[in-house]
Structure 1
Protein backbone atom coordinates (compact mmCIF):
# COMPACT_ATOMS: atom_id res chain seq x y z
CA UNK A 1 0.00 0.00 0.00
CA UNK A 2 2.78 2.42 1.01
CA UNK A 3 4.63 1.65 -2.21
CA UNK A 4 1.52 2.49 -4.27
CA UNK A 5 1.06 5.79 -2.47
CA UNK A 6 4.71 6.71 -3.05
CA UNK A 7 4.45 5.87 -6.74
CA UNK A 8 1.36 8.07 -7.07
CA UNK A 9 3.09 10.95 -5.29
CA UNK A 10 6.16 10.58 -7.50
CA UNK A 11 3.94 10.63 -10.59
CA UNK A 12 2.21 13.84 -9.61
CA UNK A 13 5.49 15.48 -8.60
CA UNK A 14 6.93 14.64 -12.00
CA UNK A 15 4.18 16.58 -13.74
CA UNK A 16 5.69 19.89 -12.61
CA UNK A 17 9.35 18.84 -12.54
CA UNK A 18 10.25 20.79 -15.67
CA UNK A 19 8.59 24.09 -14.74
CA UNK A 20 10.39 27.42 -14.41
CA UNK A 21 8.88 30.83 -13.77
CA UNK A 22 10.61 33.49 -15.88
CA UNK A 23 10.14 37.05 -14.65
CA UNK A 24 10.26 39.99 -17.07
CA UNK A 25 11.19 43.49 -15.93
CA UNK A 26 11.85 46.75 -17.77
CA UNK A 27 12.54 49.55 -15.27
CA UNK A 28 13.50 49.40 -11.62
CA UNK A 29 12.97 53.04 -10.77
CA UNK A 30 10.68 55.53 -9.05
CA UNK A 31 10.62 58.06 -11.90
CA UNK A 32 9.84 55.94 -14.99
CA UNK A 33 6.39 55.06 -16.40
CA UNK A 34 4.55 52.90 -13.86
CA UNK A 35 3.17 50.58 -16.57
CA UNK A 36 6.71 49.28 -17.20
CA UNK A 37 8.24 49.82 -13.76
CA UNK A 38 8.73 48.49 -10.28
CA UNK A 39 10.26 50.67 -7.61
CA UNK A 40 13.60 49.70 -6.04
CA UNK A 41 11.71 49.00 -2.80
CA UNK A 42 9.29 46.66 -4.57
CA UNK A 43 12.15 44.92 -6.35
CA UNK A 44 14.06 44.39 -3.11
CA UNK A 45 10.92 42.98 -1.48
CA UNK A 46 10.46 40.56 -4.37
CA UNK A 47 14.07 39.38 -4.29
CA UNK A 48 13.86 38.94 -0.50
CA UNK A 49 10.73 36.82 -0.97
CA UNK A 50 12.56 34.56 -3.42
CA UNK A 51 15.47 34.19 -1.01
CA UNK A 52 13.35 33.65 2.10
CA UNK A 53 11.01 31.09 0.53
CA UNK A 54 13.38 28.60 -1.02
CA UNK A 55 13.23 29.65 -4.68
CA UNK A 56 16.15 28.63 -6.87
CA UNK A 57 17.17 31.52 -9.13
CA UNK A 58 19.06 30.10 -12.10
CA UNK A 59 20.75 31.64 -15.16
CA UNK A 60 18.32 31.90 -18.06
CA UNK A 61 20.63 29.95 -20.38
CA UNK A 62 20.79 27.12 -17.84
CA UNK A 63 17.03 26.69 -17.55
CA UNK A 64 16.65 26.91 -21.33
CA UNK A 65 19.19 24.14 -21.76
CA UNK A 66 17.37 22.02 -19.18
CA UNK A 67 14.10 22.44 -21.09
CA UNK A 68 15.83 21.59 -24.36
CA UNK A 69 17.33 18.42 -22.90
CA UNK A 70 14.19 17.37 -21.02
CA UNK A 71 16.08 17.54 -17.74
CA UNK A 72 14.33 17.99 -14.43
CA UNK A 73 14.39 21.43 -12.83
CA UNK A 74 14.21 21.85 -9.10
CA UNK A 75 10.81 22.83 -7.77
CA UNK A 76 10.32 26.61 -7.53
CA UNK A 77 12.97 27.43 -10.13
CA UNK A 78 12.97 31.07 -11.26
CA UNK A 79 14.86 33.04 -13.92
CA UNK A 80 15.05 36.85 -13.95
CA UNK A 81 15.12 38.89 -17.16
CA UNK A 82 15.20 42.58 -18.09
CA UNK A 83 14.23 44.01 -21.47
CA UNK A 84 15.89 47.01 -23.15
CA UNK A 85 18.96 47.50 -20.94
CA UNK A 86 17.97 50.65 -19.08
CA UNK A 87 20.60 52.35 -16.93
CA UNK A 88 18.39 52.05 -13.85
CA UNK A 89 18.92 48.27 -13.97
CA UNK A 90 22.63 48.84 -13.41
CA UNK A 91 21.99 51.52 -10.80
CA UNK A 92 19.10 50.00 -8.85
CA UNK A 93 18.55 46.32 -9.70
CA UNK A 94 22.09 45.01 -10.09
CA UNK A 95 23.26 45.87 -6.55
CA UNK A 96 20.25 44.05 -5.07
CA UNK A 97 20.75 41.03 -7.31
CA UNK A 98 24.45 40.97 -6.46
CA UNK A 99 23.61 41.11 -2.75
CA UNK A 100 21.42 38.00 -3.09
CA UNK A 101 23.73 36.26 -5.54
CA UNK A 102 20.98 36.02 -8.17
CA UNK A 103 21.93 35.63 -11.85
CA UNK A 104 19.90 37.42 -14.51
CA UNK A 105 19.68 38.16 -18.23
CA UNK A 106 19.36 41.47 -20.09
CA UNK A 107 17.85 41.59 -23.58
CA UNK A 108 19.43 44.50 -25.48
CA UNK A 109 18.83 46.31 -28.77
CA UNK A 110 21.98 47.63 -30.47
CA UNK A 111 20.78 50.90 -31.99
CA UNK A 112 19.88 52.65 -28.69
CA UNK A 113 23.32 51.76 -27.33
CA UNK A 114 25.17 52.93 -30.44
CA UNK A 115 23.19 56.19 -30.50
CA UNK A 116 23.93 56.70 -26.79
CA UNK A 117 20.34 57.08 -25.64
CA UNK A 118 20.47 58.84 -22.31
CA UNK A 119 18.58 56.21 -20.30
CA UNK A 120 20.20 53.11 -21.88
CA UNK A 121 23.36 51.39 -20.62
CA UNK A 122 26.59 51.77 -22.56
CA UNK A 123 28.65 48.83 -23.80
CA UNK A 124 31.13 49.56 -20.99
CA UNK A 125 28.40 49.25 -18.37
CA UNK A 126 26.97 46.11 -19.97
CA UNK A 127 30.41 44.53 -20.03
CA UNK A 128 30.90 45.36 -16.36
CA UNK A 129 27.62 43.64 -15.51
CA UNK A 130 28.58 40.73 -17.77
CA UNK A 131 31.82 40.25 -15.84
CA UNK A 132 29.71 40.09 -12.68
CA UNK A 133 27.46 37.37 -14.07
CA UNK A 134 24.78 39.03 -16.20
CA UNK A 135 23.80 37.30 -19.44
CA UNK A 136 23.33 39.56 -22.48
CA UNK A 137 20.94 38.50 -25.23
CA UNK A 138 19.16 39.65 -28.37
CA UNK A 139 16.28 42.17 -28.45
CA UNK A 140 16.59 43.08 -32.18
CA UNK A 141 18.70 45.86 -33.70
CA UNK A 142 16.41 48.81 -33.05
CA UNK A 143 13.57 47.36 -30.94
CA UNK A 144 11.36 47.06 -34.01
CA UNK A 145 7.88 45.59 -34.36
CA UNK A 146 9.31 42.52 -36.08
CA UNK A 147 6.08 41.17 -37.54
CA UNK A 148 5.25 44.37 -39.43
CA UNK A 149 6.02 44.76 -43.13
CA UNK A 150 7.42 47.94 -44.62
CA UNK A 151 5.32 49.65 -47.28
CA UNK A 152 5.14 47.51 -50.47
CA UNK A 153 7.45 44.92 -48.90
CA UNK A 154 6.88 41.33 -50.03
CA UNK A 155 6.83 38.39 -47.63
CA UNK A 156 10.27 37.26 -48.80
CA UNK A 157 11.70 40.77 -48.49
CA UNK A 158 10.30 41.10 -44.96
CA UNK A 159 11.74 37.76 -43.88
CA UNK A 160 15.18 38.60 -45.32
CA UNK A 161 15.16 41.97 -43.56
CA UNK A 162 14.25 40.45 -40.20
CA UNK A 163 16.79 37.66 -40.62
CA UNK A 164 19.51 40.24 -41.27
CA UNK A 165 18.32 42.28 -38.30
CA UNK A 166 18.50 39.43 -35.80
CA UNK A 167 21.76 37.94 -37.07
CA UNK A 168 23.44 41.36 -37.18
CA UNK A 169 22.31 42.04 -33.63
CA UNK A 170 23.64 38.69 -32.45
CA UNK A 171 26.97 39.34 -34.20
CA UNK A 172 27.29 42.80 -32.63
CA UNK A 173 26.56 41.50 -29.13
CA UNK A 174 29.23 38.85 -29.66
CA UNK A 175 31.73 41.42 -30.95
CA UNK A 176 31.12 43.88 -28.12
CA UNK A 177 30.65 41.50 -25.18
CA UNK A 178 31.81 38.02 -26.16
CA UNK A 179 28.34 36.61 -25.44
CA UNK A 180 26.51 34.54 -28.04
CA UNK A 181 23.50 32.93 -26.36
CA UNK A 182 21.11 32.85 -29.34
CA UNK A 183 18.19 33.90 -27.16
CA UNK A 184 15.73 36.52 -28.47
CA UNK A 185 13.07 38.41 -26.53
CA UNK A 186 10.51 39.55 -29.09
CA UNK A 187 10.12 43.35 -28.88
CA UNK A 188 6.62 44.17 -27.58
CA UNK A 189 6.07 40.40 -27.24
CA UNK A 190 4.99 40.24 -30.89
CA UNK A 191 5.74 37.17 -33.01
CA UNK A 192 4.14 34.93 -35.62
CA UNK A 193 4.70 31.48 -37.09
CA UNK A 194 7.09 32.74 -39.76
CA UNK A 195 9.24 34.46 -37.15
CA UNK A 196 9.22 31.36 -34.95
CA UNK A 197 10.32 29.25 -37.92
CA UNK A 198 13.15 31.70 -38.61
CA UNK A 199 14.40 31.36 -35.04
CA UNK A 200 14.20 27.59 -35.18
CA UNK A 201 16.15 27.50 -38.43
CA UNK A 202 18.99 29.48 -36.83
CA UNK A 203 18.90 27.65 -33.50
CA UNK A 204 17.49 30.55 -31.48
CA UNK A 205 15.18 30.38 -28.49
CA UNK A 206 12.38 32.97 -28.36
CA UNK A 207 10.69 34.65 -25.39
CA UNK A 208 7.34 36.40 -25.41
CA UNK A 209 5.49 38.56 -22.92
CA UNK A 210 2.56 36.21 -22.44
CA UNK A 211 2.28 34.90 -18.89
CA UNK A 212 2.67 31.35 -17.61
CA UNK A 213 5.27 28.96 -16.29
CA UNK A 214 7.69 27.55 -18.87
CA UNK A 215 8.66 23.92 -19.25
CA UNK A 216 8.47 20.81 -21.39
CA UNK A 217 5.01 21.75 -22.72
CA UNK A 218 6.21 25.17 -23.94
CA UNK A 219 7.41 26.06 -27.40
CA UNK A 220 11.12 26.92 -27.41
CA UNK A 221 10.38 29.74 -29.85
CA UNK A 222 7.65 31.26 -27.65
CA UNK A 223 8.59 30.74 -24.02
CA UNK A 224 6.30 32.60 -21.61
CA UNK A 225 7.37 35.18 -19.05
CA UNK A 226 5.48 36.94 -16.30
CA UNK A 227 5.67 40.74 -16.75
CA UNK A 228 6.32 42.46 -13.41
CA UNK A 229 5.25 46.12 -13.55
CA UNK A 230 2.32 48.47 -13.09
CA UNK A 231 -0.68 46.73 -11.56
CA UNK A 232 1.40 43.53 -11.42
CA UNK A 233 4.28 45.10 -9.48
CA UNK A 234 3.03 44.31 -5.98
CA UNK A 235 4.32 41.19 -4.28
CA UNK A 236 0.75 40.15 -3.49
CA UNK A 237 0.11 39.89 -7.25
CA UNK A 238 3.38 38.12 -7.93
CA UNK A 239 3.27 35.39 -5.28
CA UNK A 240 0.68 33.13 -6.96
CA UNK A 241 2.60 33.39 -10.25
CA UNK A 242 5.86 32.34 -8.60
CA UNK A 243 4.24 29.08 -7.54
CA UNK A 244 2.58 28.42 -10.92
CA UNK A 245 3.05 25.25 -12.96
CA UNK A 246 3.62 24.58 -16.66
CA UNK A 247 0.19 23.92 -18.19
CA UNK A 248 0.35 20.45 -19.85
CA UNK A 249 -0.66 21.60 -23.34
CA UNK A 250 -0.32 18.75 -25.83
CA UNK A 251 -1.66 20.67 -28.84
CA UNK A 252 -3.28 23.99 -29.68
CA UNK A 253 -4.71 25.75 -32.71
CA UNK A 254 -4.40 28.22 -34.18
CA UNK A 255 -0.73 28.40 -33.26
CA UNK A 256 -0.24 31.68 -35.12
CA UNK A 257 -0.56 34.64 -32.74
CA UNK A 258 -0.92 37.12 -35.62
CA UNK A 259 -4.61 37.20 -36.49
CA UNK A 260 -5.78 37.18 -40.08
CA UNK A 261 -7.81 40.16 -41.27
CA UNK A 262 -11.28 40.22 -39.75
CA UNK A 263 -10.67 37.27 -37.41
CA UNK A 264 -10.98 39.41 -34.32
CA UNK A 265 -12.63 36.75 -32.11
CA UNK A 266 -10.26 33.80 -32.52
CA UNK A 267 -11.40 30.40 -31.27
CA UNK A 268 -8.55 28.70 -29.44
CA UNK A 269 -8.61 24.89 -29.22
CA UNK A 270 -6.37 23.27 -26.62
CA UNK A 271 -5.63 19.62 -25.91
CA UNK A 272 -4.35 18.88 -22.39
CA UNK A 273 -2.84 16.04 -20.42
CA UNK A 274 -5.62 15.77 -17.82
CA UNK A 275 -3.74 13.52 -15.36
CA UNK A 276 -3.52 16.26 -12.72
CA UNK A 277 -6.44 18.51 -13.73
CA UNK A 278 -10.18 18.39 -13.13
CA UNK A 279 -11.97 19.84 -16.19
CA UNK A 280 -14.61 21.63 -14.12
CA UNK A 281 -11.87 23.60 -12.30
CA UNK A 282 -10.24 25.02 -15.42
CA UNK A 283 -11.16 28.63 -16.15
CA UNK A 284 -10.12 31.00 -18.92
CA UNK A 285 -9.96 34.78 -19.13
CA UNK A 286 -10.07 37.06 -22.15
CA UNK A 287 -8.06 40.23 -21.65
CA UNK A 288 -10.43 43.14 -21.21
CA UNK A 289 -13.51 40.89 -21.24
CA UNK A 290 -13.18 38.84 -18.06
CA UNK A 291 -13.78 35.19 -17.28
CA UNK A 292 -14.94 32.79 -19.98
CA UNK A 293 -15.90 29.17 -19.28
CA UNK A 294 -14.15 26.75 -21.62
CA UNK A 295 -16.29 24.59 -23.88
CA UNK A 296 -15.16 20.98 -23.49
CA UNK A 297 -15.41 19.07 -26.76
CA UNK A 298 -13.88 15.84 -25.41
CA UNK A 299 -12.38 14.52 -22.20
CA UNK A 300 -9.14 16.41 -22.79
CA UNK A 301 -9.93 19.07 -25.40
CA UNK A 302 -11.66 22.43 -24.98
CA UNK A 303 -12.20 25.66 -26.89
CA UNK A 304 -12.39 29.26 -25.71
CA UNK A 305 -13.41 32.33 -27.67
CA UNK A 306 -13.84 36.04 -27.02
CA UNK A 307 -17.42 37.29 -26.91
CA UNK A 308 -16.39 40.64 -28.41
CA UNK A 309 -13.81 41.65 -30.99
CA UNK A 310 -10.31 41.87 -29.59
CA UNK A 311 -8.96 45.43 -29.85
CA UNK A 312 -6.27 46.42 -32.33
CA UNK A 313 -2.85 45.71 -30.85
CA UNK A 314 -1.98 42.97 -28.38
CA UNK A 315 -4.36 40.77 -26.36
CA UNK A 316 -4.23 37.54 -24.36
CA UNK A 317 -6.31 34.51 -23.52
CA UNK A 318 -5.26 33.13 -20.10
CA UNK A 319 -6.28 29.74 -18.72
CA UNK A 320 -5.58 28.38 -15.23
CA UNK A 321 -6.42 25.23 -13.30
CA UNK A 322 -5.41 23.94 -9.87
CA UNK A 323 -3.31 20.81 -9.58
CA UNK A 324 -5.14 17.83 -8.10
CA UNK A 325 -2.01 16.87 -6.20
CA UNK A 326 -0.70 20.20 -4.89
CA UNK A 327 -3.41 22.84 -5.28
CA UNK A 328 -0.89 25.06 -7.07
CA UNK A 329 -2.08 26.51 -10.36
CA UNK A 330 -1.24 25.51 -13.89
CA UNK A 331 -1.06 28.69 -15.95
CA UNK A 332 -1.16 29.19 -19.71
CA UNK A 333 -1.45 32.29 -21.87
CA UNK A 334 -1.96 32.63 -25.61
CA UNK A 335 -0.84 35.92 -27.15
CA UNK A 336 -2.73 37.59 -29.99
CA UNK A 337 -1.80 40.59 -32.13
CA UNK A 338 -3.97 42.27 -34.76
CA UNK A 339 -3.90 45.37 -36.95
CA UNK A 340 -6.66 47.94 -37.16
CA UNK A 341 -9.62 47.25 -39.46
CA UNK A 342 -7.91 49.04 -42.35
CA UNK A 343 -4.79 46.88 -42.02
CA UNK A 344 -2.61 49.58 -40.48
CA UNK A 345 -1.05 49.20 -37.05
CA UNK A 346 -1.55 50.97 -33.76
CA UNK A 347 1.19 53.58 -33.33
CA UNK A 348 3.48 53.10 -30.30
Structure 2
Protein backbone atom coordinates (compact mmCIF):
# COMPACT_ATOMS: atom_id res chain seq x y z
CA UNK A 1 0.00 0.00 0.00
CA UNK A 2 1.22 3.53 -0.68
CA UNK A 3 2.63 5.36 2.28
CA UNK A 4 0.63 7.98 4.11
CA UNK A 5 2.91 10.68 2.71
CA UNK A 6 2.23 9.56 -0.85
CA UNK A 7 -1.51 9.45 -0.22
CA UNK A 8 -1.42 12.99 1.15
CA UNK A 9 0.62 14.22 -1.83
CA UNK A 10 -1.84 12.57 -4.22
CA UNK A 11 -4.80 14.09 -2.40
CA UNK A 12 -3.23 17.54 -2.52
CA UNK A 13 -2.51 17.16 -6.23
CA UNK A 14 -6.15 16.28 -6.88
CA UNK A 15 -7.29 19.30 -4.86
CA UNK A 16 -4.97 21.56 -6.83
CA UNK A 17 -6.37 20.25 -10.12
CA UNK A 18 -9.99 20.60 -9.02
CA UNK A 19 -9.57 24.06 -7.48
CA UNK A 20 -7.58 25.25 -10.48
CA UNK A 21 -10.45 24.21 -12.75
CA UNK A 22 -12.94 25.99 -10.47
CA UNK A 23 -10.85 29.17 -10.62
CA UNK A 24 -10.97 29.13 -14.42
CA UNK A 25 -14.70 28.33 -14.40
CA UNK A 26 -15.45 31.12 -11.94
CA UNK A 27 -13.82 33.71 -14.19
CA UNK A 28 -16.15 32.67 -17.03
CA UNK A 29 -19.35 32.89 -14.96
CA UNK A 30 -21.40 36.05 -14.33
CA UNK A 31 -19.94 38.10 -11.51
CA UNK A 32 -21.18 36.93 -8.11
CA UNK A 33 -21.43 38.56 -4.69
CA UNK A 34 -18.08 39.72 -3.28
CA UNK A 35 -16.39 37.29 -0.89
CA UNK A 36 -15.93 38.22 2.76
CA UNK A 37 -12.50 36.97 3.86
CA UNK A 38 -11.65 36.00 7.45
CA UNK A 39 -8.19 36.71 8.84
CA UNK A 40 -6.91 36.77 12.40
CA UNK A 41 -3.19 37.30 12.93
CA UNK A 42 -0.47 38.14 10.38
CA UNK A 43 2.71 36.63 11.81
CA UNK A 44 5.29 33.85 11.44
CA UNK A 45 4.15 31.81 14.47
CA UNK A 46 2.69 28.91 12.50
CA UNK A 47 -0.58 29.20 14.43
CA UNK A 48 -3.61 27.76 12.58
CA UNK A 49 -5.21 31.21 12.75
CA UNK A 50 -2.17 33.02 11.32
CA UNK A 51 -0.99 33.93 7.84
CA UNK A 52 2.62 34.94 7.36
CA UNK A 53 3.34 38.49 6.15
CA UNK A 54 4.61 37.08 2.84
CA UNK A 55 1.47 34.97 2.35
CA UNK A 56 -0.78 37.90 3.17
CA UNK A 57 1.05 40.23 0.80
CA UNK A 58 0.86 37.64 -1.98
CA UNK A 59 -2.90 37.23 -1.49
CA UNK A 60 -3.60 40.96 -1.36
CA UNK A 61 -1.34 41.64 -4.34
CA UNK A 62 -3.29 39.07 -6.34
CA UNK A 63 -6.53 40.95 -5.68
CA UNK A 64 -4.87 44.24 -6.57
CA UNK A 65 -3.31 42.95 -9.78
CA UNK A 66 -6.67 41.54 -10.90
CA UNK A 67 -8.48 44.83 -10.52
CA UNK A 68 -10.29 44.23 -7.22
CA UNK A 69 -11.15 46.92 -4.70
CA UNK A 70 -12.43 46.63 -1.15
CA UNK A 71 -15.59 47.45 0.70
CA UNK A 72 -15.76 47.53 4.48
CA UNK A 73 -18.36 45.16 5.87
CA UNK A 74 -20.68 48.10 6.48
CA UNK A 75 -20.39 49.20 2.86
CA UNK A 76 -21.04 45.63 1.73
CA UNK A 77 -24.19 45.39 3.87
CA UNK A 78 -25.47 48.70 2.49
CA UNK A 79 -25.24 47.31 -1.03
CA UNK A 80 -26.40 43.81 -0.14
CA UNK A 81 -29.76 45.19 0.95
CA UNK A 82 -30.18 47.03 -2.34
CA UNK A 83 -29.17 44.02 -4.42
CA UNK A 84 -26.44 46.13 -6.02
CA UNK A 85 -23.48 44.18 -4.70
CA UNK A 86 -21.91 42.57 -7.74
CA UNK A 87 -21.50 45.39 -10.24
CA UNK A 88 -17.79 45.79 -9.54
CA UNK A 89 -14.82 43.63 -8.63
CA UNK A 90 -15.00 43.93 -4.87
CA UNK A 91 -14.13 41.93 -1.78
CA UNK A 92 -14.32 42.42 1.99
CA UNK A 93 -11.44 41.80 4.40
CA UNK A 94 -12.26 41.10 8.05
CA UNK A 95 -9.85 40.60 10.95
CA UNK A 96 -11.13 38.85 14.08
CA UNK A 97 -9.69 39.68 17.54
CA UNK A 98 -7.70 42.82 16.69
CA UNK A 99 -4.11 41.63 16.97
CA UNK A 100 -1.43 44.32 17.03
CA UNK A 101 0.10 42.98 13.83
CA UNK A 102 -3.06 43.96 11.94
CA UNK A 103 -1.84 47.52 12.53
CA UNK A 104 1.93 47.00 12.29
CA UNK A 105 2.02 44.43 9.46
CA UNK A 106 -1.29 44.16 7.59
CA UNK A 107 -2.23 47.84 7.60
CA UNK A 108 0.90 49.07 5.74
CA UNK A 109 0.36 46.42 3.05
CA UNK A 110 -3.31 47.26 2.65
CA UNK A 111 -2.68 51.00 2.70
CA UNK A 112 -0.04 50.62 -0.01
CA UNK A 113 -2.55 48.77 -2.21
CA UNK A 114 -5.41 51.15 -1.48
CA UNK A 115 -7.43 48.54 0.46
CA UNK A 116 -9.46 48.85 3.65
CA UNK A 117 -10.83 46.27 6.09
CA UNK A 118 -13.15 45.69 9.03
CA UNK A 119 -11.54 44.75 12.36
CA UNK A 120 -13.53 43.11 15.16
CA UNK A 121 -12.29 44.17 18.60
CA UNK A 122 -12.49 42.33 21.93
CA UNK A 123 -13.00 45.58 23.80
CA UNK A 124 -11.82 44.64 27.32
CA UNK A 125 -8.52 43.45 25.80
CA UNK A 126 -7.72 46.42 23.54
CA UNK A 127 -4.15 47.55 24.19
CA UNK A 128 -3.40 44.39 26.19
CA UNK A 129 -2.51 40.78 25.27
CA UNK A 130 -4.84 38.05 24.09
CA UNK A 131 -5.70 35.43 26.67
CA UNK A 132 -9.36 34.53 26.48
CA UNK A 133 -10.24 30.89 27.00
CA UNK A 134 -10.90 28.63 24.03
CA UNK A 135 -11.13 25.34 25.90
CA UNK A 136 -9.39 23.59 28.78
CA UNK A 137 -6.23 22.94 26.74
CA UNK A 138 -6.07 25.77 24.24
CA UNK A 139 -6.37 29.50 24.82
CA UNK A 140 -5.81 31.31 21.52
CA UNK A 141 -4.27 28.68 19.26
CA UNK A 142 -0.71 29.53 20.25
CA UNK A 143 -1.39 33.25 20.35
CA UNK A 144 -2.60 33.50 23.94
CA UNK A 145 -0.04 36.16 24.87
CA UNK A 146 0.03 38.05 21.59
CA UNK A 147 -0.24 41.86 21.79
CA UNK A 148 -3.46 43.47 20.63
CA UNK A 149 -3.81 46.80 18.91
CA UNK A 150 -4.49 49.93 20.96
CA UNK A 151 -7.18 52.54 20.60
CA UNK A 152 -4.52 54.86 19.19
CA UNK A 153 -3.75 52.28 16.49
CA UNK A 154 -7.46 51.88 15.77
CA UNK A 155 -7.92 55.62 15.36
CA UNK A 156 -5.01 55.80 12.91
CA UNK A 157 -6.47 52.94 10.89
CA UNK A 158 -9.92 54.49 11.00
CA UNK A 159 -8.45 57.63 9.42
CA UNK A 160 -7.23 55.33 6.64
CA UNK A 161 -10.77 54.09 5.95
CA UNK A 162 -10.87 51.05 8.22
CA UNK A 163 -14.05 50.07 10.06
CA UNK A 164 -14.24 48.62 13.58
CA UNK A 165 -16.88 46.23 14.84
CA UNK A 166 -17.50 44.36 18.07
CA UNK A 167 -16.21 40.91 18.94
CA UNK A 168 -17.73 41.21 22.47
CA UNK A 169 -15.98 42.45 25.61
CA UNK A 170 -14.02 39.29 26.48
CA UNK A 171 -14.58 36.69 23.72
CA UNK A 172 -17.06 34.38 25.52
CA UNK A 173 -19.13 31.56 24.12
CA UNK A 174 -22.23 33.65 23.76
CA UNK A 175 -24.63 30.72 23.95
CA UNK A 176 -23.42 30.12 27.53
CA UNK A 177 -24.40 33.62 28.70
CA UNK A 178 -27.54 34.41 30.65
CA UNK A 179 -29.90 36.89 29.01
CA UNK A 180 -28.76 39.85 31.12
CA UNK A 181 -25.07 38.97 30.59
CA UNK A 182 -25.62 38.73 26.85
CA UNK A 183 -27.40 42.06 26.63
CA UNK A 184 -24.83 43.78 28.83
CA UNK A 185 -21.89 42.48 26.82
CA UNK A 186 -23.37 43.51 23.48
CA UNK A 187 -24.27 46.96 24.76
CA UNK A 188 -21.01 47.61 26.60
CA UNK A 189 -18.69 46.49 23.80
CA UNK A 190 -20.56 48.59 21.25
CA UNK A 191 -20.56 51.66 23.50
CA UNK A 192 -16.84 51.27 24.24
CA UNK A 193 -15.99 51.30 20.54
CA UNK A 194 -18.20 54.30 19.87
CA UNK A 195 -16.77 56.23 22.83
CA UNK A 196 -13.17 55.59 21.78
CA UNK A 197 -13.54 56.01 18.03
CA UNK A 198 -16.31 58.59 17.82
CA UNK A 199 -18.33 56.75 15.20
CA UNK A 200 -21.18 54.26 15.11
CA UNK A 201 -20.30 50.60 15.68
CA UNK A 202 -22.43 48.90 13.04
CA UNK A 203 -21.13 45.35 12.80
CA UNK A 204 -20.56 42.33 15.02
CA UNK A 205 -18.67 39.04 14.86
CA UNK A 206 -19.69 35.94 16.87
CA UNK A 207 -16.72 34.61 18.92
CA UNK A 208 -15.77 31.11 17.74
CA UNK A 209 -18.59 31.45 15.21
CA UNK A 210 -20.95 30.16 17.91
CA UNK A 211 -24.49 31.54 18.06
CA UNK A 212 -28.14 30.49 18.18
CA UNK A 213 -31.46 32.25 17.51
CA UNK A 214 -31.40 33.88 20.96
CA UNK A 215 -27.91 35.30 20.42
CA UNK A 216 -28.73 36.38 16.86
CA UNK A 217 -31.83 38.25 18.00
CA UNK A 218 -29.95 39.88 20.88
CA UNK A 219 -27.34 41.20 18.43
CA UNK A 220 -30.07 42.74 16.29
CA UNK A 221 -31.87 44.23 19.28
CA UNK A 222 -28.60 45.73 20.54
CA UNK A 223 -28.52 47.90 17.42
CA UNK A 224 -25.94 46.15 15.27
CA UNK A 225 -26.77 46.16 11.56
CA UNK A 226 -25.05 42.89 10.62
CA UNK A 227 -23.04 40.00 12.06
CA UNK A 228 -20.52 37.56 10.63
CA UNK A 229 -20.19 33.84 11.24
CA UNK A 230 -17.54 31.24 10.42
CA UNK A 231 -19.88 29.47 8.00
CA UNK A 232 -18.27 29.04 4.59
CA UNK A 233 -19.61 30.67 1.45
CA UNK A 234 -20.84 33.90 -0.11
CA UNK A 235 -24.01 35.87 0.53
CA UNK A 236 -26.97 37.08 -1.50
CA UNK A 237 -29.51 39.86 -0.99
CA UNK A 238 -32.02 37.36 0.43
CA UNK A 239 -29.67 36.05 3.14
CA UNK A 240 -29.87 37.00 6.81
CA UNK A 241 -27.42 39.86 7.46
CA UNK A 242 -27.00 38.55 11.02
CA UNK A 243 -25.64 35.25 9.69
CA UNK A 244 -23.18 36.37 7.03
CA UNK A 245 -20.94 33.69 5.59
CA UNK A 246 -17.21 34.19 5.09
CA UNK A 247 -14.22 32.45 3.51
CA UNK A 248 -11.53 31.63 6.05
CA UNK A 249 -7.89 32.28 5.22
CA UNK A 250 -6.93 29.00 6.90
CA UNK A 251 -8.02 27.38 3.64
CA UNK A 252 -5.55 29.40 1.58
CA UNK A 253 -2.64 26.97 2.05
CA UNK A 254 -3.70 25.72 -1.39
CA UNK A 255 -3.13 28.55 -3.87
CA UNK A 256 -5.61 27.18 -6.38
CA UNK A 257 -8.26 27.08 -3.67
CA UNK A 258 -7.55 30.73 -2.96
CA UNK A 259 -7.97 31.60 -6.65
CA UNK A 260 -11.19 29.57 -6.85
CA UNK A 261 -12.59 31.54 -3.92
CA UNK A 262 -11.52 34.85 -5.43
CA UNK A 263 -13.15 34.23 -8.78
CA UNK A 264 -16.31 32.61 -7.49
CA UNK A 265 -15.85 29.06 -8.68
CA UNK A 266 -15.89 27.85 -5.06
CA UNK A 267 -18.20 29.14 -2.37
CA UNK A 268 -20.15 30.89 -5.14
CA UNK A 269 -23.58 30.56 -3.57
CA UNK A 270 -24.73 30.66 0.01
CA UNK A 271 -25.59 26.99 -0.16
CA UNK A 272 -22.01 25.91 -0.89
Looking at secondary structure, tell me which structure has more strand per residue.
1
- 2:166/2:190 contact within 8 Å kept: yes
Aligned counterpart for 2:102 among listed residues 89, 98, 102: 89
Match of 2:142 in 1: none
- Say if 1:233 and 1:180 are closer, same or farther in 2 by CA, change over 3 A: farther
Q: Kindly provide the CA deviation profile for residues 205-256 of structure 1, in whole angstroms up to 9, marking residues without a partner as x.
A: 1100111012213211100111102x534433211111227xxxxxxxxxxx
Which one scores higher on RCO, CA 8 angstroms, separation ≥ 6? Answer: 2
1:47 and 1:159 map into 2 onto residues whose CA distance is 40
Q: CA deviation at 1:113?
A: 1.6
Alignment-derived partner of residue 239 in structure 2: 218
Query: RMSD in angstroms over aligned alpha carbons?
Result: 2.1
Say yes or no: does 1:21 pair with 2:31: no
For the residue of structure 2 that corresponds to 1:46, the secondary structure is helix
Larger-Rg structure: 1
2:167 maps to 1:123: no
CA contact (8 A) 1:212 1:331 kept: yes
Which residue number in structure 1 is paired with residue 45 of structure 2? 31
List runs of 5+ in structure 2 lacking aligned partners: 1-28, 131-145
Q: Which residue of 2 aligns with 1:63?
A: 76
Distance (whole Å) between structure 1 residues aligned to residue 82 and residue 220 of structure 2: 16
Aligned ranges 1:1-348 → 2 under 5 Å? 13=30, 19-31=33-45, 33=47, 35-113=48-126, 115=128, 119-149=147-177, 158-204=178-224, 205-229=226-250, 231-244=251-264, 329-330=268-269, 332=271
TM-superposed CA distance for 1:116, in Å, is 5.5
Q: Deviations over 1:145-173 (max 9, x none)?
A: 11114xxxxxxxx1221111011100000
C-alpha distance after superposition, 1:155-193 (max 9, x if no partner): xxx122111101110000000111323210101111111
Deviation at 1:136, TM superposition (A): 0.8
Distance 1:234 1:28 in 2: 17
Compute the displacement of 1:32 (Å): 5.0
CA distance in 2, matches of 1:75, 1:131: 24
1:31 Cα deviation from its structure 2 partner: 2.1
Give the 3-state SS of the residue equivalent to 2:84 in structure 1.
coil
Contact 2:98–2:119 (Cα < 8 Å) also in 1: yes
TM superposition shift of 1:198: 1.7
- Secondary structure at 2:126 match in 1: helix
Higher helix share: 2
TM-score, length basis structure 2: 0.77
TM-score by length of 1: 0.61
SS at match of 1:171: helix
Instruction: Specify every segment of 5 or more residues in structure 1 that has no aligned partner in the other structure, as ranges.
Output: 1-11, 150-157, 246-319, 322-328, 334-348
2-structure distance, mates of 1:203, 1:242? 31
